[in-house]
Amino acid sequence: MKKTLYIITILLLLLAGCKNRVTDTTGTARRTPTDPSVTPELPYILEGDYTPDTGVLYKVIIGRDTCFVVIDSIDDIQLHGYYYQLTDSSDCVERKPFTYDRHWKDKRREAKVFAYQEPEYHSVADSLYSKPVFKISQLRNVEYGEALGYWVSMKKTGKEGYGEILLEGIPNSFIRTIQTLTMDIYSPANSDTKKPLVLLLHGGAFYIGDKEDSLISGLCRHFASLGYVAVSANYRLGFLPAKGEINRAGFMAVQDAHAAMRFLVDRADKYGIDTNLLFVGGASAGGITALNLAFMRDPDRPKQAYSNQWRDLGTIASSGNSSRATFHIKAVANMWGAVNNLNILKNSHTDIVSFHGDADQVVPYDNGFPFNDLSIQVGKRLFDRMYGSLPIDKKAKELGYRSLLHTYNGEGHSLQRTSEGEWNQKNFIDIRDKITAFFLEEIAGKRPVIEEDRNDSRHFIINGADPTDVRWKVEGGFIVTIGNNEIWVVWDNTKTSHSLKASGHYNGGMGFNASFKPDIETNTEK
């Protein structure tokens, strides 16, 4: 009886010693296969002066050899279990049973023993800049400058005829006065981090429109809810019906958009703007202005902006306000816009996403003169030839830019409205979501993916980013060694399901979730 109590006491003490063993999934495990011919006594019976728990998976390392061991039963007479041994022939481990007699304790060797437990894993929410998660705060009528012009706002429903609009505008087109330039700023509420900026510009043929335009304000609210600072700006409108006057109006719009961007860059700290992530977009005349803001430089100004026949309008950056801030536009959302000269695209490595109906008679989808819905002759008399989204996309790709063109077959101008002038919710959502996806890739760069090392089928790496806070999860296998952006895994070929997952953060705190499924030949015999 005393002898039995003595043995039980010793076993309990040894078991307590096991509880102090390190719980880990890494250690300094060998990444290459064990060699059973050199080390035939694997799994080394969980060496050390303690008694292992039953039902616990252990990782055992002796020298440069590694195996994974489970004890089914143990007493002072016999130890029984199974182990998974790394082998040369495959990236899988083989499950092998073992049994040792009463002398198993005499076979102990020095080893590192870890109670194997995979690290805690959870998927990271990756909704930043992709899903509407923020409440919106709005600043109305923020003044960003002033300039000489006719007017800066003419609100219309979109159903008015050209004659009706001209009758209202022409009486105000003879005398320029100082115009106050304003913007509405939409921001994600309660966000203290630096945010991308998107400046959005309404359309209206440089004659009508306002920063509260339903398309533009709707996009602003959407992007603010994603985590952007989104801005809708008014700019100078109006001209006499002459080619030179229209070209000057277009250039003044570029000057005002440039002044708005300078104003925002100067106040990046105030508004929480990341000046490395500046985007611009616009529809129709706003699309033309957005493209020119990104690509036009002073040598590209229309001759009517500085010839002796008209008052010199100055350089692009000389109007609106005194800011001398510089900036680079990362990408443009071109909604049925155009340019007068495709060569200006060489001035800036800026990516473009375009939307255009191929039956547009107001701004050409390919190339031609605007307002063909009035008359080809009227278009030639009032406008220079313009190059629409189709040639813009082709030229951008030739220059090596990232460019996507979304063509709406059989549709005309103002894709956010039907041919009857009613709101087109389907097109609005499609355009909104495609801009969102395009800008997200601009911010994120290449999303992290798990790739298998060509030289080591057990080694997997996260490529495409410099990730942080990475968590790994292995299904149907074991972690041999783990790092931040890399992992060594062996697969259990008795399992029917195998996968590898990783989650973490990259580029400005954006979350990611990646997965990999290996091609494993399973063996269901156990």
**For 229-260, what is each residue's pLDDT tens digit?**
999 999 999 998 777 888 999 999 999 999 99
pLDDT at 472: 93
Find the range with the poorest average confidence among 100-104, 266-270, 382-386. Answer: 100-104
- In the predicted structure, residue 8 carries a pLDDT above the cut 90: no
pLDDT surpassing 50 at residue 295: yes
Q: pLDDT category, 68, cuts 50, 70, 90?
A: confident
In percent, how much of the chain has pLDDT > 70? 82
The residues near 337 (Cβ < 8 Å, ≥ 6 apart) are 282, 283, 284, 285, 286, 287, 288, 289, 290, 291, 354, 363, 388, 389
**Alpha carbon distance 458, 472 (integer Å):** 14
Q: Cis (ω within 30 of 0) for the bond into 299?
A: no
Q: Does the pLDDT at position 24 exceed 60?
A: no
Domain limits of the chain?
2-116, 136-444, 449-516
Closest Cα to residue 370, out of 388, 393, 396, 343? 388
How confident is residue 268, by pLDDT bands cut at 50, 70 and 90? very high
For 40, 63, 177, 306, the CA distances from 352, given in Å and listed in that order, are 63, 57, 35, 29
Pick the closest to residue 514 from 468, 452, 449, 432 (CA basis): 449
pLDDT tens-digit map of 79-124? 788 888 766 556 777 788 877 765 555 655 566 777 888 888 888 8
pLDDT of 378: 67
Please provide the average confidence, as pLDDT, over all residues in the chain: 84
Single-letter residue type at 125: A
Q: Which letter does DSSP use for residue 512 in this model? A: E
**309 has a pLDDT exceeding 60:** yes
Q: What is the mean pLDDT of residues 252-276?
A: 97
Architecture of domain 136-444: 3-Layer(aba) Sandwich (3.40)
